[in-house]
Structure 1
Amino acid sequence: MNLSIDVSEKNDVHEVKLSGEIDVYTAPKLKETILPLTKQKGATVKIDLEKVQYMDSTGLGVFISGLKAAKEYESKLILVNLKDRVFRLFDITGLKEVFTIEDTIRGGK
Structure 2
Amino acid sequence: NLLSNAIKFTEKGSITLSAKKKGKEFIFAVMDTGPGIPQDMLAGIFEPFVQVVDNKKPIQGTGLGLPISRSLVQSHGGDLWVESKMGEGTTFYFSLPFDLHLKQ
Q: TM-score range by the shorter chain?
A: 0.3 to 0.5
Q: Which has the higher strand share?
A: 1
For normalisation by structure 2, the TM-score amounts to 0.36
Larger relative contact order (Cα-Cα within 8 Å, sequence gap ≥ 6): 2
For normalisation by structure 1, the TM-score amounts to 0.34
Q: Which has the higher helix share?
A: 1
